[in-house]
Amino acid sequence: MHTETYRQLDRDHHLHPFTDFKALGEEGSRIVTHAEGVYIHDSEGNRILDAMAGLWCVNLGYGRQELVAAATAQLRELPYYNNFFKSTHPPAVKLAEMLCRLAPAHMNRVFFTGSGSEANDTVLRMVRRYWALEGKPDKQWIIARENAYHGSTVAGLSLGGMAPMHAQGGPLVPKIAHVRQPYWFGERKLAEGRDTSPETFGRECAAALEAKILELGEENVAAFIAEPVQGAGGAIIPPESYWPAVKEVLARYDILLVMDEVICGFGRLGEWFGSVHYDLQPDLMPIAKGLSSGYLPIGGVLVGDRVAETLIERGGEFFHGFTYSGHPVCAAVALKNLELMQAEGIVERVRDDVGPYLAERWATLAGHPLVGEVRSRGLIGALELIDPDTGERFPKSLGAGTLCRDICFDLGLVMRSVGDTMIISPPLVITRAEIDELVGLAREALDGTARRLAAREQADGPAIMIQPSIEESRS
């Protein structure tokens, strides 16, 4: 079919996730047809470096025939059976065992789901159930963070802290509170215009968590949920003081720690889990995305011994599960994905080789006049766009981030914008040469963005009204 035919059918029949349906209908979709390694290809013949690994998930890169073979073999053997009613199948069992081997030593159980959102629904059910079984049914409050993303189901949306999402989804799940995020550049430096050090700010954010626990009453608080590094919120890498200070706070109170590893899990930060990178011992870890390198949908919750033992010994039946919990084909692909990551030393490669290399190359963008801050950790990176004349954000109406994102696409690079924060999260198999290409394209895109913004300002205000982007519906 021709590109225009696809566009027309897409416009007529397809409602896209996180999309202004009308605006996209007018603009038309990009049709991605195939992919290999770190590159995607579209129906108009463009080859584009996918510096987002799809949606933070294609960790092993595109086109891995071993994953295709694992799926095909499993489809032939047993395309579907469930894990309900005292049944299971080899792929689910083998994947569970392997995951628990890779997870921190105190995590020896996994509950499978079909996605990260379902994983966080499971988290919500599990933590409240845990405390009820412990004889503390009042411990129901879950503390999350502002601007967090934990998924799009009602529980995921409620745990998340994105105000525009909350405005559409209510009423939300009760007894979820949000505390401030450790986003020094956006919150402290720009929004508040103060220059407290990142380390002080990190400790202040941990103190805000403690204040919230005291306000709600420890006897009413079930858990704190957070990502090691906030992904969708804008690749927010907390100040070094943040996690140690949060650990100190949590040690004073009896509440569970849930680390959302949907993005940071499976090598993104140079360890199997972001929690290991930050030396955290969570009670629960929701996982998805990189678990199967995105080849098939699968997620889950890794459960620490403390919670698992209570659920097993005292819980009776847990009335929760999904038709596709531990789907055999998804599980077979996830297992093969983890085996390949292990055999090829992908996690160590991120930690010792491409992670430090990206950090070094990415940091060279700091000198660009549009860039107010550069940060990276493992294979996550961000650039904060600012107006060089004021050192502040550009007026929202200029849509600087969206403009930069669109210029990236035209140059052959997928780089996301979250407001005016540009973010990357490339496949973990990216080579040094491809990192050079990525950084070169990002620099070109920044130059192009600067030129276009200057032209607009000269034309006395925004000449072109920019369509609200998918990303901006969240920021």
Omega before 171 cis (within 30°)?
yes
Query: Does 263 help bind ligand PXG (rule: CB under 6 A)?
Result: yes
Residues between 100 and 139 that touch ligand PXG (CB under 6 A): 115-117, 120
Cα(291)–Cα(298) distance, integer angstroms? 7
Query: Does 37 help bind ligand PXG (rule: CB under 6 A)?
Result: no
Q: 91 or 151, CB closer to ligand PXG?
A: 151
Please report how close the Cβ of residue 149 comes to ligand PXG at its closest, in angstroms: 5
Beta bridge partners of 397: none
Strands 39-42 and 256-259 come out as unpaired
Q: What are phi and psi of 176, to 5 degrees?
A: -125, 125
Q: 123 or 438, CB closer to ligand PXG?
A: 123
Q: 116 or 419, CB closer to ligand PXG?
A: 116
Q: Does residue 134 come out as left (phi exceeding 0), alpha (psi in the -120 to 50 range) or beta?
A: alpha
Please report how close the Cβ of residue 428 comes to ligand PXG at its closest, in angstroms: 16
Please report how close the Cβ of residue 295 comes to ligand PXG at its closest, in angstroms: 13
Q: Which stretch binds ligand PXG (CB under 6 A): 255-263, 388-396, 434-442, 455-463?
A: 255-263
Among 38, 222, 288, 311, binds ligand PXG (CB under 6 A): 288
Q: Which stretch binds ligand PXG (CB under 6 A): 94-102, 198-206, 241-249, 259-267?
A: 259-267
Q: 115 or 402, CB closer to ligand PXG?
A: 115
Cα(357)–Cα(455) distance, integer angstroms? 35
Q: 3 or 19, CB closer to ligand PXG?
A: 19
Helix (H, G, I), strand (E, B) or coil at 47: strand
Q: Could you tell me the strand order of the sheet in which 421-424 lies? A: 371-377, 380-385, 421-424, 416-418
Strands 141-145 and 221-226 come out as parallel
Query: Does 260 help bind ligand PXG (rule: CB under 6 A)?
Result: yes
Binding mask 168-207 for ligand PXG (x = CB under 6 A): ----------------------------------------
Please report how close the Cβ of residue 217 comes to ligand PXG at its closest, in angstroms: 28
Residues between 294 and 313 that touch ligand PXG (CB under 6 A): 299
Cα(322)–Cα(127) distance, integer angstroms? 18
Q: 116 or 381, CB closer to ligand PXG?
A: 116
Cα(257)–Cα(236) distance, integer angstroms? 19
Q: 263 or 453, CB closer to ligand PXG?
A: 263
Binding mask 141-170 for ligand PXG (x = CB under 6 A): --------xxx----x--------------
Binding mask 203-242 for ligand PXG (x = CB under 6 A): ------------------------x---xx----------
Element (H, E) at 41: strand 39-42
Residues between 45 and 64 that touch ligand PXG (CB under 6 A): 55
Q: 286 or 355, CB closer to ligand PXG?
A: 286
Please report how close the Cβ of residue 197 comes to ligand PXG at its closest, in angstroms: 27
∠ CA(119), CA(120), CA(124), 5° rounding?
120
CB 113 within 8 Å of CB 119: yes
Q: What are phi and psi of 390, to 5 degrees?
A: -115, -20
Q: 236 or 245, CB closer to ligand PXG?
A: 236
Q: What is the DSSP letter of 66?
A: H
Map tokens 């988290």 to a residue: 123
Residues belonging to the chain: 475
Which tokens sit at 136?
């503390």
Cα(11)–Cα(18) distance, integer angstroms? 15
# residues near ligand PXG by CB under 6 A: 17
Query: Does 262 help bind ligand PXG (rule: CB under 6 A)?
Result: yes
Q: 232 or 302, CB closer to ligand PXG?
A: 232
How many C-beta atoms surround the C-beta of residue 73 within 10 A?
Answer: 12
Cα(81)–Cα(224) distance, integer angstroms? 35
Cα atoms found within 13 Å of the Cα of residue 414, Cβ hemisphere only: 21
Applying CB under 6 A, the residues found at the interface with ligand PXG are 55, 115-117, 120, 149-151, 156, 227, 231-232, 260, 262-263, 288, 299
